[in-house]
Amino acid sequence: MRVLGYTWAGVRTTDLKATARFFAESLGLSVVQEGKSMMQFEMPSGQLFEVFGAENRYYRLHACPVLAFQVEDVRQARTELVSRGVQFETEVEGDESEAWTYFRGPDGYLYELWQTKRTFKALPQRGR
């Protein structure tokens, strides 16, 4: 397994409308998907940021912000980590274009493995 970077971050909120408005209007993030109980934003780099409302099935998993680590093959990576004793919270979900699975780190926090065909843009580095 090789981690390529992180591709996604997610949080939960009890006020989806106000939280989504904040990220769209105050931070200027682009909405790429909107559902009854979730909003997905895209960063200029191509990374995704998702906000889950209380009715969403993923709400219970996001007690703290969650990062998804991009891997080349999510099923193979999951199998490798299971063999190392890592506890997974979900099976692999999604399809061939995007698939993911949630796991617990040794700190008890939730993380995710994510496989995607999305491409990410390199941002210019700021001078020091």
Neighbours of 16 (CB within 10 A): 22
Q: Which domains does the chain have, with CATH numbers?
A: 3-116 (3.10.180.10)
Greatest pairwise CA separation for the chain in angstroms: 44
Give the residue among 92, 90, 58, 87 at the shortest CA–CA distance from 73: 92
Looking at residue 66, what is its pLDDT? 87
Strand bridging mode 3-12 / 48-52: parallel
Looking at residue 128, what is its pLDDT? 43
pTM for the whole thing?
Answer: 0.70
Q: Tens digit of pLDDT per residue, the chain (128 long)? A: 888 888 899 999 999 999 998 889 877 889 999 988 999 999 888 889 999 999 999 999 888 888 888 889 999 999 999 999 999 999 999 998 899 999 988 768 888 999 988 776 655 555 54
Looking at residue 54, what is its pLDDT? 94
Looking at residue 30, what is its pLDDT? 92
Looking at residue 38, what is its pLDDT? 95
Looking at residue 127, what is its pLDDT? 53
Secondary element (H or E) of residue 20: helix 16-21
Q: How far apart are CA 111 and CA 37, in angstroms?
A: 21
